[in-house]
A and B are shown apart, each in its own frame.
Chain A
Amino acid sequence: MKDFTLAVQRFDPSTDQKPSLDEFPVLFREGMTVLDAILQARDYADHSIALRYSCRQASCGSCGMKINGRPRLACYTQIAELKSERVVVQPMDNFPIIRDLVTDLSGFFEMHSALLPRILRSDESEMENPTAEYLMSPEQLDRIHQFTYCIKCGLCTSSCPTVGTDSDFPGPQALAQAYRYTMDVRDEGGAERFQLLDTQHGVFRCHYAGSCSAVCPKGVDPALGIQLLKRHVMSARPPRAKGEGAKVWKKEP
């Protein structure tokens, strides 16, 4: 592939009236990712480009951004796969812009916390001072396994049409994690979560547009989790009541 143009959206809300695109010529090398290109522009052309990145291996979820119109991880997107001589990078939609490519994820994390993304059980003494493991079979793990891969990159929430208009909607990430914890056999908090989900801006404001699953880089498939969650919420019967979670399993001596 030849050398190409990288166009980076620049916008500082405290000083600018509207965003602009700054263009940088980038020297292409084999295996180059969008993150590599942005760092080349930042290191050699304009040190003031603001972006978030960390692991460079699609593991931390920091470098989510809109690349040629589609939400992607910059470290996980090869320049060659874009098949374009102009690569446009913009901040992810639906998150407030702090500066340039950096967005504010605090609201995103608040929505996630609000749906109780942890194991809720009645035996708090065992949870605080564990004497043994909780028993969970491989088949039971399989049912939630893919949803545990979420790296909270925000790409799904960025692509969701409902999040674009409804600021009370938790978003696909929070809802998929609500499903993950509700279906975890160790969890007994289904009833509490259902009360939060069965609201005017809860799980039923998802209309299965599926963009979340289309952009998820880790195969979490939040759309699947959310549709399966809707059935449970509609039945108003949580999978497990208090005391019915997976039992403590002590190994034989």
Chain B
Amino acid sequence: MAAERIAENKRGVLGWINPHNCNAERWAYTFQRITGVAVLLYVLGHLGDTSFFVGGPIGAGPSESSWAFISGIVENSFGHLILVMVVLVVTFHGINGVRLILAEFGVIFRKPSAIEYPYRPKGLGVGQKAMFVGAIALAVIAALMAWWILFEGPL
């Protein structure tokens, strides 16, 4: 059984993370997946907590007490820390996603042509790495802004 699985030799889900093929696009792919799932989980939670504006799952209309109740649970340091992290991952996912859309429409690549050694793939390279780093940078900036707003002051 175990020997058969080893013989099949598929990397599996762990292969989605691979430190040996260190090209920037591979890291971007891994982070895009992780941040995507994380954002979706947050959004589902957010749907839940915002529904307390109308009294929650069993509510019947806007209710100030119900809103105060949920605010008491989420509006604290831990909740704000979660929000800062959500801003971080959402911004990365969005900016990297824009890079992916442009790439998958072939807009940001130079045309294929005859190639010479040493081979520098047009599909990868400085532009892609720059956009990936840019996405991380913008995400960190957005998270710092969120920290400033939510914790009312610098770090």
Contacts and interface: CB of A to CB of B under 8 A. Distances in A.
State yes or no: do A and B touch (Cβ within 8 Å): yes
Interface of A: 11, 13, 16-19, 68-71, 91, 93-97, 103, 141-147, 149, 159, 161, 163-165, 167, 207-211, 213-216, 218-219, 221-225, 227-228, 230-231, 234
A161 B16 contact: yes
Given A17-B2, A142-B112, A210-B121, 17 more contacts: A18-B2, A93-B9, A93-B10, A95-B9, A97-B7, A143-B113, A146-B113, A165-B16, A207-B29, A208-B104, A209-B29, A210-B29, A210-B124, A216-B119, A221-B112, A221-B119, A223-B121
A97 B6 contact: yes
A159 B21 CA distance: 8
Given A95-B9, A161-B26, A213-B124, A143 B21 contact: no
Contact of B114 (A94, A146, A161, A228): A146
A227 B18 contact: no
B113 A145 contact: yes
B20 interface: yes
17 contacts: A70-B21, A91-B9, A93-B11, A161-B26, A163-B11, A207-B32, A207-B33, A209-B26, A210-B23, A210-B121, A210-B124, A214-B121, A214-B124, A221-B115, A224-B121, A227-B103, A231-B104
**7 tightest Cβ-Cβ pairs between the two chains A and B:** A219-B119, A210-B25, A224-B123, A164-B11, A164-B15, A223-B123, A69-B20
Nearest to A204: B104
A164 B25 contact: no
A143 B121 contact: no
Interface residues of B, number: 45
B121 A208 contact: no
The winner among A91, A163, A219 for most chain B CB atoms within 10 A is A219
Nearest to A149: B115
Contacts of A91: 9
Contacts of A221: 112, 115, 119, 121-124
The winner among A11, A211, A234 for most chain B CB atoms within 10 A is A211
A177 to B, nearest CB: 14
A95 B7 CA distance: 9
B4 A13 contact: yes
A234 B154 CA distance: 47
